[in-house]
Structure 1
Amino acid sequence: MQHLERITIDPNICHGKPVIRGMRWPVEVIMDMLGSGMSIDEIIEDHPELVREDILASLNYAKMLVSGRLISQAA
């Protein structure tokens, strides 16, 4: 799936939640920002350490989870 390599899972970072590129940015928080009505551009403007591909990776990851597909990856 597109951009999923940007999502990492490490038990030592954010209690093993899926995060963006090993940073302390959980996919869950990205989804909260989008759900609150923020645009991708607004998120990036407020948090310049994130890039468009990070947001798209979060969306793709969430889509995979709700579709019931298993996501396997190395941390």
Structure 2
Amino acid sequence: MSERELLNRITRDPNICHGKPVIRGLRYPVSALLELLASGMTPEEILQDYPDLEMDDLRAALLYAARLSEVKHMIAR
């Protein structure tokens, strides 16, 4: 799957999770998935606990975080 296809899995909707980036509109915030991975859970464990998710969703979350880390300036809201 291409980077563009992976990043297209990340959606934002003001009516879902207060507009936070989520996976495919499923109410799984990208930040929550990253925290699970950072806590030491394996992708397989996460997928077992959250059957709506796919491996490419986890890859998308990691790619999204990688792209965000390249941002040089944060815009105050």
Instruction: Report the TM-score, using the length of structure 1 for normalisation.
Output: 0.87
Q: Which runs of 5+ in 1 are unaligned?
A: 70-75
CA RMSD of aligned residues (A): 1.3
2:22 pairs with 1:19: yes
In structure 1, which of residues 47, 65, 68 is the aligned counterpart of residue 68 of structure 2? 65
Query: Greater CA radius of gyration, 1 or 2?
Result: 2
Deviation at 1:40, TM superposition (A): 0.7
Which amino acid is 1:12 matched to?
N
After TM superposition, which residue ranges in structure 1, 4 or more long, deviate above 2 angstroms?
Answer: none
- Among all aligned residue pairs of Structure 1 and Structure 2, give the percentage whose two residues are the same amino acid: 51
Equivalent residue, structure 2, for 1:5: 8
Q: Which runs of 5+ in 2 are unaligned?
A: 73-77
CA–CA distance in structure 2, aligned partners of residues 13 and 46 of structure 1: 21
Higher relative contact order (CA 8 A, sep 6+): 1
CA–CA distance in structure 1, aligned partners of residues 15 and 49 of structure 2: 26
